[in-house]
């Protein structure tokens, strides 16, 4: 059994706690605007809009207004956010592993490369599912995205733990490689069962 010094598990959001399918987002916006889904993707992703939101350069009402301007469409901010987060669906199996980990005595938190639109939308639609995860760190609030080492250093500061006490769970190898190089404990996520087995091996479950 491997020994772990982790005091808190820092979970990625899209691709780990939530299934992430951006094509659903483009289809939902397409149905709302009558634009082809590929054109929606071009205007809201390929254009750099989504990245600007994730990096915190476009936030809140400004992000919403820029989004509907890009689509040449009218809709409420509530509707825009609803469509923006349609790409996310909770992965109940992974969420259950996280809750079990918390019951075993480890704190759980979130670190996501995402905008405040995503944060606000998910917290509105799935408050109970996200409630155990504190803090919930979003790149838009940091102005830094993973795998920038500064993003992980800032996250550790916000968590109040040194890197060796933080377990990073992420589905992107580039992210876990960067975290490991900074002294974080890491798990490369693939499935809920694999995650559970890895946590058991480290004596955390």
pLDDT of 97 reads: 98
Residues 158 and 73 both lie in one domain: no
Residues 64 and 133 both lie in one domain: no
For residue 2, being part of any structural domain is answered with no
For residue 3, being part of any structural domain is answered with no
Cβ-contact 129, 119 below 8 angstroms: no
Residues 69 and 136 both lie in one domain: no
Cβ contacts of 133 within 8 Å, gap of 6 or more = 11, 17, 98, 108, 109, 110
For residue 127, being part of any structural domain is answered with yes
Average predicted confidence (pLDDT) for the chain:
96
User: Number of folded domains in the chain?
Assistant: 2
Q: How many residues are recorded in the chain?
A: 205
Res 45 pLDDT > 60: yes
Strand 166-170, strand 8-11: pairing: parallel
pTM of structure: 0.94
Residues 95 and 179 both lie in one domain: yes
How confident is the model over 101-122, as pLDDT tens digits? 999 999 999 999 999 999 999 9
Residues 70 and 145 both lie in one domain: no
How confident is the model over 179-197, as pLDDT tens digits? 999 999 999 999 999 999 9
Domain containing residue 80: 22-87
Average the pLDDT over 14-30 and give the result: 97
């Amino acid at each position: 059994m491997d020994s772990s010094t982790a005091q808190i598990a820092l979970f990625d959001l899209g691709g780990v706690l939530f299934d992430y399918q951006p094509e659903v987002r483009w289809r939902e916006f397409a149905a709302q605007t009558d634009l082809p889904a590929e054109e929606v993707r071009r205007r809201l992703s390929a254009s750099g809009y989504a990245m600007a939101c994730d990096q915190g350069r476009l936030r809140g009402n400004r992000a919403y207004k820029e989004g509907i301007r890009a689509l040449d469409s009218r809709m409420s901010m509530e509707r825009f956010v609803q469509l923006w987060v349609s790409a996310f669906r909770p992965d109940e199996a992974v969420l259950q592993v996280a809750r079990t980990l918390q019951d075993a005595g480890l704190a759980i938190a979130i670190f996501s490369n995402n905008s405040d639109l995503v944060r606000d939308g998910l917290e509105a639609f799935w408050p109970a599912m996200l409630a155990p995860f504190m803090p919930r760190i979003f790149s838009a609030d940091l102005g830094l995205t993973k795998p920038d080492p500064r993003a992980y250093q800032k996250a550790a500061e916000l968590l109040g733990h040194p890197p060796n006490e933080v377990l990073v769970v992420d589905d992107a190898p580039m992210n876990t490689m960067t975290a490991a190089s900074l002294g974080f404990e890491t798990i490369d996520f693939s499935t809920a069962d694999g995650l559970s087995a890895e946590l058991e091996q480290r004596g955390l479950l």
